[in-house]
Structure 1
Amino acid sequence: MSTPEDRYTVISADCHAGADLLDYKPYLAAEHHDAFDAWAATYVNPYEDLLADTADRNWNSARRLAELEADGIVAEVVFPNTIPPFFPSASLMAPAPTRAEFEQRWAGLRAHNRWLADFCADAPGRRAGVAQILLNDVDEAVREVRRTKEAGLTGGVLLPGTPPGSGLPELHSEVYDPLWAVCAELEVPVNHHGGSASPPLGDEPAARAVFMVETTWFSHRALWHLMFGGAFRRHPGLRLVLTEQGSGWIPGVLGMLDYYHGRLVAAASRAATAESKFGAGLAASMGASPGSVWRESCYVGASFMRPHEVPLRHRIGLDKIMWGSDYPHDEGTHPYSREALRLAYAGLPPDEIAQMLGTNAARVYGFDLTRLAPTAARVGPTHGELSEPLEKIPPDATSPAFARGGSVRVW
């Protein structure tokens, strides 16, 4: 039985890091050094947060550990954030380059992955780095998955999007089977992060608003592409994590996918109708229903989980939810993660909170909870602390976790 002084082991399933621009050079093969110097000399960073005084949170290991511990967090899954060599913007957002640019961009991502391995090694057992790949060359992606696994990156691989106009095959295509196969073989989680799959929409005010409305939907597409494409049937060990895309949408979408799956499979088994062709071969290629695939193979990186999403936790699956702070982004919960957790989870059974805050992430990403226990005993939020409902939202909080609605419990 827990006491009010028992502490939670909090693992953030969504944090971001990267090297300062010039610090990537030593991680590039020598043949790219001259090109890197020329590129870096004229490069203008488009992101204000990477030019601010706080930008070093991305690479200053000591500062990062101190700030996360002050926030009650003992370990993190590390997605990219800064600009890798030869990219015009963050690799999540950069449009597909021309064929001539691919070699340099691959070199840039490999440099980031090498840097990230060292960054994770600087805090043993506390960082699970997510490796970056491109999808233009599946064989090269497979090699990079193997190399980064051997290098000690335990956060899995970041799956790029294939937005309309990218020129890449859609994610349901079997052309990606070698990638799914190596990830299943090596038990490498496939992470699909919000913001990585939207097509370019322009920079008008309407375009920016449309991006905000649509960006999570474009990221959700990976779920049904891999499901209907049969990736999980052909590669039973494959695990998909959908991060920073919200979580409240999952039960409804799974219900919709199950509906279409059942409807199309049934239509295909009947005499020729206008609809039968849409389900032809689906049962054989896909196997289990979408709901079953979710329960067996999928997880959600529930970044700054909001109060209105929490009542859906059992329909999503308590063993599927991994809370994330999104450090060091402005929309993240730092330095008010404890308050965000109180707002979302106060009143829940401690064993349920423990699953969403740490146990699930430890299982998916291989964190050793015994190894983390001494740090959690020192800095983790207590059971008593998180049992207290939050009565007042911090006035300078910038995270959507605190977005004001009818009350502090509703968004």
Structure 2
Amino acid sequence: MLPPGFRAFDADNHYYEALDAFTRHIEPEFRKRCMQWAQVDGKTRLLVGGKVNKFIPDPTFSRLAKPGVLEKWFRGTAKGSLIEQFGELEPTRAEYRERDARLEAMDELGLDGAMFFPTLGVGMEQALLPDIPALTAAFRAFNRWLAEDWGFAYQERIYAAPYITLADPRNAVAELEWALGQDARLVVMQYGPISTASGWTSPGDPVFEPFWALAAEAGITVVYHGGNSAYGRLISWWGESHEMEAFRATPMRGLISPEPIADTMAALLSYGVLARHPRLRFAAIETGADWVAPLFARLKKSYAQQPHAWAEDPRETLRRQLWVSPFHENDLTELREVIGVDRIMMGSDWPHTEGIAQPLNFAKDLEQAGFSDAEQVQVMKTNAEALVQRLD
């Protein structure tokens, strides 16, 4: 059990973006090519690249379900329909959009600190393709809003991650340099192949080497966070819509086998990015953990068949440089056996509906999975806490 008065460090918190998150600092020439608000059939809709975007049902976040109301649904123990689980919606709370109010909420939740990620922002990269100049402009504007409203290391408790797209490699380096100058401790990006001006390519492509070299030199943590990735296009091959809509997924979207986060880590390994930059730290957050053991099994086979292709056993490389924040319903015992307890982090997804209303309750899952008291403290606090400190 956790010691009395224990305060955790949460690897997965979210804010709900302000209405002007993408527009407050947008460069004038890109205003009509990026995000706009419009009235459509009497409702406020978000236009992205001139098209109505459906990633979030209500991107204004005017009325929201309470944190964690879908926990039983994701555990597979809920009764009734998905709609019934949401319950009565409530107006947006101050702590969802204001950092000082959030610090008070964190005190009530028993959190010393947390990593903070977008709600809307993680679904916008694919929506702006193939207009790469507009895409990079949109996230330059977003990051400057984020620095103003949340800060990148606010009172050494709120660690908001600027979003970086690799679609334009030079812009990615420039944006990382800017973020480092603003005391960013981590950056967030989307997993999967990268769409560049030259076409689709791997994140391990040499064109991205300056970015990875700078990230390694700076000792910053690179986060891959769940959202809408290029793999959304795969499902269209099976007759499904490629457009991702929250809470409206068909069973096929949940059953299709490819895991973009696993393939992304495999690409970074096989292209030698991690081996060349042993200081690089990656965190996989809100991607679950069911992909970890199968990837390790494939890496074991690859190393046995082609040992000459690897600088070392790629499983050891991954154990050294990857941290994982599992879903509460994942097999935590298996994850500990595969990647080690010092690479697992509690992430509550607060205040999202699919997360945990009380982050400290994650310790109950750890206890049921056989984690010792000391191991629970590692997962609930120290592992994630170390990642928001840059390496010397």
- The alignment's TM-score, normalised by the length of structure 1, stands at 0.72
Between structures 1 and 2, the one with greater strand share: 2
Q: Which residue of 2 aligns with 1:155?
A: 186
| CA distance in 2 between partners of 1:333 and 1:361 (Å) | 17
Using a 3 Å threshold, how does the CA distance of structure 1 residues 33 and 222 change in structure 2: closer, same or farther? closer
For residues 348-396 of structure 1, give each alpha carbon's deviation from its aligned partner in whole angstroms, at most 9, with x where no partner exists. 32211111111011111229xxxxxxxxxxxxxxxxxxxxxxxxxxxxx
Structure 1: 5+ residue stretches without partners: 84-88, 266-281, 368-411
Specify the SS of the correspondent of 1:78.
strand
Q: Which residue of 1 aligns with 2:13?
A: 15
Partner of 1:53: 63
Alpha-carbon distance in structure 1 between the residues aligned to 2:114 and 2:290? 23
1:343 paired with 2:365, answer: yes
Secondary structure at the counterpart of residue 305 of structure 1: coil
- Which one is further off, 183-192 or 74-83? 74-83
1:293-372 equivalences under 5 Å are 293-302=317-326, 304-306=327-329, 308-310=331-333, 312-334=335-357, 336-345=358-367, 348-366=371-389
1:53 CA drift (Å): 2.0
Amino acid at match of 1:74: D
TM superposition shift of 1:96: 5.7
Q: Alpha-carbon deviations, 1:65-112, whole Å to 9, x = none?
A: 3433333223111111135xxxxx8325x24613xx322222221121
**Counterpart Cα distance in 1 of 2:145 and 2:35:** 21
Q: Does residue 1:68 correspond to 2:106, yes or no?
A: yes
Paired residues of 1:241 and 1:298 also in contact (CA < 8 A): yes
- Structure 2 runs not aligned, ≥5 long: 47-53, 65-91
- Once the two structures are TM-superposed, the CA of residue 223 in structure 1 deviates from its matched residue by 1.0
Aligned counterpart in structure 1 of residue 142 of structure 2, from 112, 125, 128: 112
Identify if the C-alpha distance between structure 1 residues 121 and 183 changes in structure 2 by more than 3 Å, giving closer, same or farther: closer
Q: Structure 1 residues 308-317 or 131-140, which shifts more? A: 308-317
Q: Which residue of 2 aligns with 1:405?
A: none
Equivalent in the alignment of 1:403:
none
* Structure-2 residue corresponding to 1:44: 45
Alignment partner of 1:90 is 2:123: yes
Contact 2:110 2:360 in 1 (8 A): yes
Instruction: Indicate the residue corresponding to 1:225 in structure 2.
Output: 267
Amino acid at match of 1:301: S
Q: Name the CA distance, whole Å, in 2 between partners of 1:66 and 1:227.
A: 41
Which residue of structure 1 lines up, in the alignment, with residue 298 of structure 2?
256
Structure 2 CA distance for partners of 1:365 and 1:105, relative to 1, 3 Å: same
Matched residues in 2 for 1:348 and 1:157: separation?
29
Report the CA distance shift for 1:5/1:356 in structure 2 as closer, same or farther (over 3 A).
Answer: closer
Residue of structure 2 in register with 1:243 after alignment: 285
Distance across 1 between alignment mates of 2:129 and 2:195: 14
2: CA distance between counterparts of 1:264 and 1:33?
48
Q: Answer whether contact 1:16 1:326 (CA < 8 A) is retained.
A: yes
Q: SS of 2:10's equivalent?
A: strand
Partner Cα separation in structure 2 for residue 75 and residue 328 of structure 1:
15
Asked if the contact 2:324/2:345 (under 8 Å) is kept, the reply is yes
2:186, 2:220 within 8 Å by CA — same for their partners in 1? Answer: yes
Distance 1:133 1:297 in 2: 20
SS of the aligned residue for 2:232 comes to: coil
Larger radius of gyration: 1
Measure, in 2, the Cα distance between the counterparts of 1:117 and 1:207. Answer: 33
Moved over 6 A (4+): 163-166, 204-207
Instruction: Give the AA of the match of 2:381.
Output: G
Q: Which residue of 2 aligns with 1:276?
A: none
Inter-CA distance 181–4: structure 2 relative to 1 (3 Å threshold): closer
User: For the Cα contact (< 8 Å) 1:300–1:321, is it kept in 2?
Assistant: yes
Q: Would you say the 8 A contact 2:269–2:314 is kept in 1?
A: yes
The residue aligned with 1:127 is 158
1:141-167 C-alpha deviation (Å, 9 max, x unpaired): 011011111112212342443279994
| Higher share of residues assigned helix | 1
Q: d(CA) in 1 for partners of 2:290 and 2:304?
A: 23
Report the equivalent of 2:203. Answer: 171
Query: 2:82 aligns to what?
Result: none
Q: Deviations over 1:319-366 (max 9, x none)?
A: 1111101122211112x3333432333563221111111101111122
The code of the aligned residue for 2:137 comes to A
Identity %: 23
Return closer, same or farther for 1:307/1:122 CA change in 2, 3 Å cut-off: closer
Provide the C-alpha distance between the structure 2 equivalents of 1:38 and 1:324, rounded to a whole number of angstroms: 29
- Aligned equivalents of 2:35, 2:382: Cα separation in 1: 46
CA contact (8 A) 2:22 2:145 kept: yes
Deviation of 1:132 (Å): 1.2
Structure 1 residues 340, 233: CA separation in 2 closer, same or farther (over 3 Å shift)?
Answer: closer
Give the RMSD, CA atoms, in angstroms. Answer: 3.2
Shift of 1:125: 0.6
Give, in whole Å, the separation in 2 of the partners of 1:6 and 1:140. 47
